[in-house]
Amino acid sequence: MTMSFVNTIREWDEGVALADKRDWAAALRVLSKILDINSKIFFNIGCLHLIIQELDAAEKAFDNSIRKDEHLAISFFQRGITFYKKQKFEECLSDFQKAWTELRGNQLIDYKPLGLRYKLYACEILHNVALAQAQLGQWEKAQESLLVALSLKTESKHGHIDQALESVLKQKLFEPVEIEEGVLFRPGKHYVAELEKKDYLGKAKVVASIVPSDDFSGFAPLQPQVEEVPTRQKVPEVLRALEGEPHSVLYEFLPETPEELAVLPGNIVFVLQKGTDNWASVVFNGKKGLVPYNFLEPLEITLSSKQEQEVTPCKAIPAPPGEEPPSRPERTALDHSQDLSAMKTSNEDDKTQFCIVKVQFKYSIAIRSAIGVPYTTVLQQICKKLKLPIQTVTLSYKKAESDERVIADEIEMENIWRSVESGRLTLWCDVSKDKENWSHGLNKMVALHSFEASCPEDLEFCQGDVITVLSKVNEEWLEGQCNGKVGIFPARFVDKV
């Protein structure tokens, strides 16, 4: 590490340590005096200014962070929070929408590999998008944004989205989603560990030397003095240490096996070996792992010294199970703008009246349904959302001025639609306790390999677990149930019992 880089890491680590003690002013002073400030440190400076309510300084710091890395979604998100506190709602809406765009269709971005202990969820971004739209009086757009957010909600902690939807329907404002105080980017642990290395032997002292005025201290033998200096410039050590060919990462890649490596767009990796199965063995931040080669783009960097070096063959890294990596199923509702425009166009064309159906289950969900559709259609929508077989689900509703619940069916559905008020309807969902009646005919599979979930929709299991297959997603992915959880998993990881 060069001295400037060492100083940056040391002061960065010192500033974060002060922030951990909630000494915001001291942390800000240390981070601000760093000479070579990257996008992550600018992000930290902006967060600290935001904590102590210095909004103009926070906006400037986030501007610099985005200027350094224009694909850092978390910086757009925090600058949007800053604009919201400054009551600049149009700029606030624009930044939240840019943060949504930088997710590139993913349900979340986990910044832990980059040193930030935070997950940025798509549904939380849309929550703030709806709040900015509500502040601008765009209540219908806010409602549509929250409906998309509901479809992307995966965790129980996101119940604030349901509450926000209720507020929008009453044309009332709600609180934004904010990052907790003290959540900052931290320097890599391996870099910090290098700072702590000490020289316990000390330096050798020259007692006698055949070379006049020799002040050399070390363990290498004395070399004769030369008069002529070599004409060829010495190759810098940092360049001689590089192995492989430099490539730029085009798309985010999340690992699914221990052999794979997490990378983000814009990272620079060095390809050691490219296999015939389109997987490449790369080095990134001192770690080796596998990355799909079609996620990379070669960089035109000339290193003349590399031609003179002897490249030592790297150890073979075991390939993941199977010949080719599985392609993930396409997700729905990825393009927020297209979904909302299509939804709005369909409403204007056929003038169909819609309502929001809130379903009370073990947790609450919401669907958007056309008023007057048959009971079977509503039941199919709800079962698809809850991932339950239709045969096991029973719907019911409460009549006006009565706490008694009435079982819904095709005939009763006409009365249910007449009970809709202000475009809202509440139903209750009950599941039959006799699960053997419907699970008996489903396939049972045994896990050949352990599968770790890398996305919220994945089903995690261990080798030897028995999985009940619910449906076939495509040729390479199945949907199943194991240990009380439902999700998708690669078909080649299991076999029939």
pLDDT at position 201 is 53
Is 355 found in the same domain as 254? no
Is 427 found in the same domain as 287? no
Q: Exposure string (b/e) for 303-331, b if CB count within 10 Å is 16 or more?
A: eeebeeeeeeeeeebeebeeeebbebeee
Contact by Cβ (8 Å): 383, 359:
no
Residue 18 lies in a domain: yes
Matching residue, tokens 């029973």: 394
Residue 188 lies in a domain: no
Q: Which of 436, 457, 483 is the endpoint of a domain?
A: 436
What Å distances lie between residue 148 and 355, 392, 420, CA to CA? 15, 27, 22
Residue 312 lies in a domain: no
Residue 108 lies in a domain: yes
Is 253 found in the same domain as 371? no
Please indicate, yes or no, whether the overall pTM of this predicted structure exceeds 0.85. Answer: no
Is 359 found in the same domain as 284? no
The CATH number of whichever domain residue 66 belongs to comes to: 1.25.40.10
Residue 462 lies in a domain: yes
Q: How many CB atoms lie within 10 A of CB 134?
A: 23
Integer Cα distance of 373 and 414 in angstroms:
9
What Å distances lie between residue 405 and 397, 413, 427, CA to CA? 5, 14, 9
Please give the residue range of the domain that contains residue 273: 241-300
Integer Cα distance of 103 and 254 in angstroms:
13
Helix (H) or strand (E) run with residue 161 in it: helix 160-169
Is 371 found in the same domain as 356? yes
Integer Cα distance of 314 and 159 in angstroms:
49
Is 456 found in the same domain as 424? no
pLDDT at position 342 is 43
Residue 218 lies in a domain: no
Q: Which of 397, 414, 436 is the endpoint of a domain?
A: 436
Matching residue, tokens 């792992």: 289
Is 399 found in the same domain as 279? no
SS3 content of the chain, % helix, strand, coil (to 5): 40, 20, 45
Q: What angle do CA 189, 195, 196 make, to 5 degrees?
A: 95
Matching residue, tokens 């396409």: 330
The CATH number of whichever domain residue 396 belongs to comes to: 3.10.20.90
Number of domains in the chain: 4
Q: Which of 300, 318, 340 is the endpoint of a domain?
A: 300
Residue 50 lies in a domain: yes
Is 356 found in the same domain as 264? no
Name residues whose C-beta falls within 8 Å of residue 153's C-beta, 6 or more positions apart in sequence.
123, 161
Integer Cα distance of 301 and 303 in angstroms:
6
What Å distances lie between residue 309 and 47, 240, 334, CA to CA? 45, 8, 47
Residue 224 lies in a domain: no
Burial of 172 (0-12, 13-18, 19+ CB in 10 A): exposed
The CATH number of whichever domain residue 473 belongs to comes to: 2.30.30.40
Q: Exposure string (b/e) for 12-33, b if CB count within 10 Å is 16 or more?
A: bbebbebbeeeebebbbebbbe
Is 108 found in the same domain as 40? yes
Q: What are phi and psi of 283, to 5 degrees?
A: -120, 130
* pLDDT by residue, tens only, the chain of 497 residues: 555 778 888 899 999 999 999 999 999 999 999 988 999 999 999 999 999 999 999 999 999 999 999 889 999 999 999 999 999 999 999 999 999 999 888 888 999 888 899 999 999 999 999 999 999 999 999 999 999 998 888 777 888 998 999 898 889 999 999 999 999 999 987 777 776 654 545 555 555 555 555 555 544 455 555 455 445 444 443 443 356 788 888 888 888 788 888 888 878 888 898 877 788 898 887 788 888 888 888 876 443 434 444 444 444 444 444 444 445 444 344 344 444 444 444 444 445 688 888 888 876 778 888 888 888 888 888 888 887 887 788 888 888 777 788 888 888 888 888 888 878 888 888 887 544 344 444 578 888 888 888 777 788 899 888 888 877 777 788 888 888 788 888 988 888 76
Is 46 found in the same domain as 139? yes
pLDDT at position 423 is 82
Is 363 found in the same domain as 474? no
Beta strands 354-360 and 405-407 are unpaired
Name residues whose C-beta falls within 8 Å of residue 95's C-beta, 6 or more positions apart in sequence.
76, 77, 79, 80, 83
Beta strands 494-496 and 444-447 are antiparallel
Contact by Cβ (8 Å): 129, 96:
yes
pLDDT at position 479 is 83
Three-state DSSP at 387 gives coil
Burial of 404 (0-12, 13-18, 19+ CB in 10 A): exposed
Q: Which tokens belong to 109?
A: 């971005």
Name residues whose C-beta falls within 8 Å of residue 450's C-beta, 6 or more positions apart in sequence.
461, 462, 463
Q: At what angle do helices 39-51 and 3-20 cross, to 10 degrees?
A: 30
Integer Cα distance of 22 and 180 in angstroms:
12
Is 131 found in the same domain as 268? no
Q: Which tokens belong to 268?
A: 């620079």
